[in-house]
Structure 1
């Protein structure tokens, strides 16, 4: 048991359903961009690659791919992809096809996935019923089971590759959005680590991830420094845009004024022409 362990939670990289918005894609694979996102994690986390003692992953195909690519150096050091712990309890929450895994016998027929140790995949792991049901109570119970599982492992440095919705359940941070291939460090709350809930507390961002799919809302910052940082980012993002809009607005107003000036000048010329014509007529009628 290692209640003082450091848990590196990682969201999978971009998968097909993320890119297309199509939830009917069964057990979605990574896109080419997703492969690139995951493959650059080792260069972003060199220290982490050297200290991780075990890599655990949800057995959905995108999380297995993300684990192999994102923790490639650590996995090589630990003995290869066969050493990844495929944990069905860490699967995604929803009962749609893209969030439902493949049966063990199906994965074993696919060369890329047959290399993993799939011994923990029971026949019901894809059922989305009972323990795996997409029901709030079941999801909370499953998240608590995973926290207890992580707490009871002997390693001090544990990497878990999972899914956005499940990571929110696991950390009890429902408003905290995760980018593709994002890594955050958590530790167990020392005051409650021995309780059934054994909650996790956020320590640091290890790798920021990629928001290519969509810009999700930022979590509410908890400190003055975080507020200042967010304010600065907002200024950087929006002030130039506002200036452009204001400049565009001023330019538009100037165009309108210039057009009015042209119209007034034309009206004055027309008025002068009419006056000239009337004067000529009057001279013709009243010759000296």
Structure 2
């Protein structure tokens, strides 16, 4: 029996809304969802209720956590939610810079962040003029492959993964819109 993974991109973030209008990075670090993003999550949640997920995996970026809680907070299967930084977004914009686990715990006290490093996003290398370090392509590609292997090794057969557009594009070959779902069979 194949392992089924639903890759779900987060709802619209403040970064997404600003970038769509201007084409410029608005410097929204760890951007949260917009009102539209919250509505997208509510609409998608109804469709996902019919799937018997055994595990939900989310990145520690706020927009993904908000999406995860909106989609699965009252899911009938009550799948456990695991926070994992391996499938975080490719760090190329301000919204992809995360926050320390202690800050995340204050905002989302019912989730576990203790296993994360203090700085769990890419931070090695030269800082760009915007004030953060962009992730080189080869490191990003290696991380995508590592996450795929990590998923394969998981015992669960039905998994929901909430994450990000560029990462899922590399993982599935399909670029997802906000709150869109791609099915990956492993």
Fold agreement, TM-score > 0.5: yes
**Corresponding residue for residue 94 of structure 2:** 97
Q: Per-residue CA shift, 1:264-286, capped at 9, x if unaligned?
A: xxxxxxxxxxxxxxxxxxxxxxx
Task: Go from structure 1 to structure 2 and tell me whether the alpha carbon gap of 1:32 and 1:89 turns closer, same or farther (over 3 Å shift).
Answer: same
Q: Please state which structure has a larger fraction of its residues in helix.
A: 1
DSSP 3-state at the match of 2:5: strand
CA contact (8 A) 1:95 1:128 kept: no
- What TM-score, normalized to structure 1? 0.56
**Corresponding residue for residue 163 of structure 2:** 162
Of residues 148-157 and 92-101 in structure 1, the stretch that sits farther from structure 2 once superposed is 92-101
Counterpart selection for 2:118 from 114, 123, 126: 123
**Distance of 1:52 and 1:156 partners within structure 2:** 8
Unaligned runs of 5+ in 1: 189-288
**Distance of 1:24 and 1:46 partners within structure 2:** 35
Which structure is higher in RCO with an 8 Å CA cutoff and minimum separation 6? 2
**Distance of 1:25 and 1:163 partners within structure 2:** 16
Unaligned runs of 5+ in 2: 20-24, 126-132
Please state how far the C-alpha of 1:34 moved relative to its aligned partner.
0.5
**Distance of 1:109 and 1:45 partners within structure 2:** 28
How many residues are aligned here?
A: 174
**Corresponding residue for residue 27 of structure 2:** 24
Counterpart selection for 2:103 from 102, 106, 118: 106
DSSP 3-state at the match of 2:2: coil
Backbone CA RMSD of aligned residues: 2.0
Please state how far the C-alpha of 1:101 moved relative to its aligned partner.
1.1
**Distance of 2:72 and 2:13 partners within structure 1:** 17
CA contact (8 A) 2:7 2:183 kept: yes
Please state how far the C-alpha of 1:76 moved relative to its aligned partner.
6.7
CA contact (8 A) 2:49 2:75 kept: no
**Corresponding residue for residue 49 of structure 2:** 46
